[in-house]
């Protein structure tokens, strides 16, 4: 896992979103942001149709 984003970079992100965070919340969110980025990368990864479960249920086949 990568290191948390720098305070300056995260302050710019927070300001861009118009958030007002206390010092404690700022550090908490800044530390968690690396995990948000990791999840975002996994979600955005292209997958084939076979990666999804079947969307059709056929009761007669059981």
pLDDT of 12 reads 95
Quote the mean pLDDT of the chain: 83
Asked if the structure places residue 37 within a domain, the reply is yes
- The tally of domains found in the chain comes to 1
Asked if the structure places residue 55 within a domain, the reply is no
pLDDT (mean) for 31-37: 91
Asked if the structure places residue 61 within a domain, the reply is no
Asked if the structure places residue 2 within a domain, the reply is no
pLDDT of 27 reads 92
The span from the CA of 27 to the CA of 29, in Å, is: 6
In Å, the largest CA–CA distance within the chain is: 60
Tell me how many helices (H) and strands (E) the chain has: 2, 0
pLDDT of 29 reads 92
| Residue range of the domain that includes 43 | 7-47
26 has a pLDDT exceeding 90: yes
The span from the CA of 36 to the CA of 44, in Å, is: 12
């Amino acid at each position: 896992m990568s290191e948390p984003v720098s305070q300056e970079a995260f302050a710019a992100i927070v300001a861009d979103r118009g958030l007002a965070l206390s010092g404690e919340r700022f550090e908490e969110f800044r530390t968690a942001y690396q995990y948000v980025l990791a999840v975002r990368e996994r979600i955005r990864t292209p997958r084939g149709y076979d990666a999804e479960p079947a969307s059709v249920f056929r009761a007669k086949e059981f």
